[in-house]
Chain A
Amino acid sequence: MAKYILKRAILLIPTLFVVITLVFALMRLTPGTPATVILAQRGEAISEENIEIIEEELGLNDPIYVQYFDYVKGIVTGNWGNSYFTEKPVFQNILDVWEPSILITLFSITITVLIAIPLGILTAIHRNTALDFIASVMAMISMSIPVFCFGLIMSYLFGFKIKIFPTNSYFWIKEGNVLNSIRHILLPSIVLGLSHVGSMLRFTRSTMLDVLSQDYIRTAKAKGLPRRKIYYKHALKNTMSTVATLVVNSIVVMLGGSTITEKVFNINGMGTLALKALNDRDYQQEQAIVLLMAFIFLGVSLLMDVFYKLLDPRIEYE
């Protein structure tokens, strides 16, 4: 087992390296320079000389390969650099705003899983019934309405017409009580969670149908096992191991798409930081956020592979 994990982790290294290089290249390909934004912030004239001075300060005038080696060295040694604007370490900036993004993601995925997976399994077992029809219509609707439209409509209905949820911003846990913070992220989480229900429901249903059509299920039926046992013991196990991949993917998609949810609900989180850093050409900050998301993705997929290996020891990594 340890050998498998090690092998899998070593295979990750080239990918990591390519990701790091890719992110660097993407940021440097972006036209514009952080210097103009810094000058505007300081209230100085945006002239060629001033831009030159600032770029010299930030080390952006070094040859590109020197910048690249500094960058790789920084990442490997854990010094990911400072933001050009706040002049604080990029990790500090991320830590300052990550709380709402992470909380919303966790709450949303819980809502999605609790609704989509049981419904998906039920609709697969009771195929072509009224329940199946209603659920598939709801799944279609959930997949068709963009999350920002849905979010704005919900905040109009439940924040403005019926004042159940606060729609203004977010309260940090350290500022007050935890319950207040949760109250503020409840509506965003419900919106984001419901908008992922459709795809997960459809996926769970089709996976379960796949499993139910396999030979060992037919054997189980033939030897007269009770239906309940076939569905909830034999079929469920195999369905869940496939659906788990989608759950993990959804977590990453939710975190990556947090820019939109945060804009809809005026929350200052990681997504907002990512958009701001990109617009300001704050290379170091943007690199850090994108890399962090990519690392989370890679780490989680490594965990998934290990989990699959534990479930099914026959799996070999190519």
Chain B
Amino acid sequence: MKNKKRMKASVFIRKYWRLIFGGTIIGIIILCSIFAPLLTKCDPELVDTSIKKAMMSPEHPFGTDNLGRDIWARILYGSRNTLIIAIGAELLCTVAGAVLGLLCGYYKKVEKILMRFLDAFSTIPNLLLCMMMVSIFGAGIPNLIIALSIGGIPGTARMVRNQVLSIKEKEYVESEIAMGASDARIIFKHILPNCFSYLIVRFSNGLSGSVMSMTSLSFLGLGLDPTKASWGGIVNEAQDYMFARPHVLVAVTVAISLTVLGFSILGDGVRDLLDPKL
């Protein structure tokens, strides 16, 4: 009996190692961002010009930047808004995309107008669109979440629409219609549950891209107040002094890349779990 259980665990690990590996990386990063105050004693926004451009030391593991702010603290605290914005934007994008996709797939009249509009959005390159959206909504975390989500909505909506169209053809939906079920019942009872695993896969696969867009924008100096710690912002500042202190650049690169890597492995893992066909 005991042996059988152990076998199961090893099969599980081999089959879903991506889920476990990606989940561990992301778990550690989330823990670091929650317990940031325990991992550093420095304030990420405290400007102290007496210690500016410090090299590595026990108090400042990665040194300080041109304004004397501790880089390790900025990286730790920077993970907070990166994670919040990336997850928030992807969540909003999935929900909005699902709603629009459902409307498009279910109501033929809505589709004609809405799809044209979504097509138009997808012709503008993502980064340019994000830049324009950030200028419209202004700086700040909620605004950035909205701005970043918009680029992904057309793709999600189109995917949900295709899904809805194929579910609508199924016999069980036809029989519901024949029995006189309301649109709401069909959508919430049959169509939505069938789209759910697709949406979760889409959401988890989109997270890594969302982190990437978020850091790209803050690298360009858009989206967040520069005094706030953000990973892209640190890279932006590190560009000025990278020849003297390249380790800052390396440290932030490791932080960003690990997060993106963790999310994309986790996304693949979620796909393995929910969508065995792929």
Are A259 and B131 within 8 A (Cβ)? yes
Q: How far is the CA of A260 from the CA of B213 in the complex (A)?
A: 11
* Nearest B-chain residue to A253, judged by Cβ: B125
Given contacts A275-B131, A290-B132, contact A148 B216 (CB under 8 A): yes
Are B120 and A259 within 8 A (Cβ)? no
Q: Name the 5 nearest CB pairs between A and B, nearest first.
A: A256-B125, A149-B253, A18-B120, A144-B261, A294-B123
> Is A26 part of the binding interface, using a Cβ–Cβ cutoff of 8 Å?
yes
Given contacts A144-B264, A149-B256, contact A290 B128 (CB under 8 A): yes
Whole-angstrom distance between the Cβ of A142 and the nearest chain B Cβ: 10
Q: How far is the CA of A147 from the CA of B235 in the complex (A)?
A: 11
Whole-angstrom distance between the Cβ of B27 and the nearest chain A Cβ: 17
Whole-angstrom distance between the Cβ of A202 and the nearest chain B Cβ: 10
Chain B interface residue count, CB cutoff 8 Å, equals 41
Are B257 and A149 within 8 A (Cβ)? yes
> Is B239 part of the binding interface, using a Cβ–Cβ cutoff of 8 Å?
yes
* B232 contact set on A, CB distance < 8 A: 148
* B261 contact set on A, CB distance < 8 A: 140-141, 144
Given contacts A256-B125, A256-B126, A297-B125, contact A274 B131 (CB under 8 A): yes
Are B128 and A293 within 8 A (Cβ)? yes
* Nearest B-chain residue to A295, judged by Cβ: B123
* B187 contact set on A, CB distance < 8 A: none
Q: Give the residues from 290 to 305 in chain A that come closer than 8 angstroms, CB to CB, to chain B.
A: 290, 293-294, 297-298
* A253 contact set on B, CB distance < 8 A: 125-126
* A30 contact set on B, CB distance < 8 A: 132, 135-136
* B256 contact set on A, CB distance < 8 A: 145-146, 149
Are B124 and A293 within 8 A (Cβ)? yes
Q: How far is the CA of A278 from the CA of B134 in the complex (A)?
A: 10
* B117 contact set on A, CB distance < 8 A: 18, 22
Q: How far is the CA of A18 from the CA of B125 in the complex (A)?
A: 16
Stretch at the interface among A111-119, A121-129, A152-160, A176-184: A152-160
> Is A7 part of the binding interface, using a Cβ–Cβ cutoff of 8 Å?
no
Are B138 and A153 within 8 A (Cβ)? no
> Is B46 part of the binding interface, using a Cβ–Cβ cutoff of 8 Å?
no
> Is A72 part of the binding interface, using a Cβ–Cβ cutoff of 8 Å?
no
26 inter-chain pairs at a CB distance below 8 angstroms, sorted by A residue, are A15-B119, A18-B116, A19-B120, A22-B117, A27-B132, A30-B135, A32-B135, A140-B261, A140-B264, A140-B265, A141-B257, A144-B208, A144-B261, A144-B264, A146-B212, A146-B235, A149-B235, A149-B256, A253-B126, A255-B125, A256-B127, A259-B127, A290-B124, A290-B132, A293-B123, A293-B125
Are B220 and A152 within 8 A (Cβ)? no
Are B243 and A156 within 8 A (Cβ)? yes
* A149 contact set on B, CB distance < 8 A: 235, 249, 252-253, 256-257
Q: How far is the CA of A193 from the CA of B127 in the complex (A)?
A: 17
> Is B224 part of the binding interface, using a Cβ–Cβ cutoff of 8 Å?
no
Are A160 and B243 within 8 A (Cβ)? yes
Chain A interface residue count, CB cutoff 8 Å, equals 46
Whole-angstrom distance between the Cβ of B199 and the nearest chain A Cβ: 21
Are A278 and B132 within 8 A (Cβ)? yes
> Is B260 part of the binding interface, using a Cβ–Cβ cutoff of 8 Å?
yes
Are A15 and B219 within 8 A (Cβ)? no
* Total A-B contacts with CB atoms under 8 angstroms apart: 130
Whole-angstrom distance between the Cβ of A314 and the nearest chain B Cβ: 20
Are A152 and B116 within 8 A (Cβ)? no
* B273 contact set on A, CB distance < 8 A: none
> Is B250 part of the binding interface, using a Cβ–Cβ cutoff of 8 Å?
yes
Given contacts A152-B238, A253-B125, A278-B135, contact A260 B220 (CB under 8 A): yes
Are B126 and A152 within 8 A (Cβ)? no
Choose among A140, A146, A252, A257 the residue that contacts B215 (Cβ–Cβ < 8 A).
A146
Whole-angstrom distance between the Cβ of B260 and the nearest chain A Cβ: 4
Whole-angstrom distance between the Cβ of A248 and the nearest chain B Cβ: 13
* Nearest A-chain residue to B252, judged by Cβ: A149
> Is A264 part of the binding interface, using a Cβ–Cβ cutoff of 8 Å?
yes
Are A15 and B125 within 8 A (Cβ)? no
* Nearest A-chain residue to B259, judged by Cβ: A144
Are A146 and B257 within 8 A (Cβ)? yes
Q: Give the residues from 20 to 46 in chain A that come closer than 8 angstroms, CB to CB, to chain B.
A: 22-23, 26-27, 29-32
* B127 contact set on A, CB distance < 8 A: 256-257, 259-260
* B128 contact set on A, CB distance < 8 A: 256, 259, 274, 289-290, 293
Q: How far is the CA of A275 from the CA of B220 in the complex (A)?
A: 9
Choose among B120, B124, B219, B260 the residue that contacts A144 (Cβ–Cβ < 8 A).
B260
Tell me which of B128, B135, B138, B246 has the highest count of chain A C-beta atoms within 10 A of its own C-beta.
B128
* B110 contact set on A, CB distance < 8 A: none
> Is A14 part of the binding interface, using a Cβ–Cβ cutoff of 8 Å?
yes
Tell me which of A31, A32, A160, A294 has the highest count of chain B C-beta atoms within 10 A of its own C-beta.
A294
Q: Give the residues from 130 to 148 in chain B that come closer than 8 angstroms, CB to CB, to chain A.
A: 131-133, 135-136, 138
Q: How far is the CA of A314 from the CA of B232 in the complex (A)?
A: 48
* A144 contact set on B, CB distance < 8 A: 208, 257-258, 260-261, 264
* Nearest B-chain residue to A145, judged by Cβ: B257
Whole-angstrom distance between the Cβ of B264 and the nearest chain A Cβ: 6
> Is A143 part of the binding interface, using a Cβ–Cβ cutoff of 8 Å?
yes
Q: How far is the CA of A144 from the CA of B211 in the complex (A)?
A: 10
> Is A263 part of the binding interface, using a Cβ–Cβ cutoff of 8 Å?
yes
* Nearest B-chain residue to A18, judged by Cβ: B120
Are B126 and A263 within 8 A (Cβ)? no
Whole-angstrom distance between the Cβ of A101 and the nearest chain B Cβ: 12
| With A144-B257, A149-B257 already in contact, 8 other A-B pairs whose C-beta atoms are closer than 8 Å | A144-B264, A145-B260, A156-B246, A257-B125, A259-B220, A260-B127, A286-B132, A294-B120
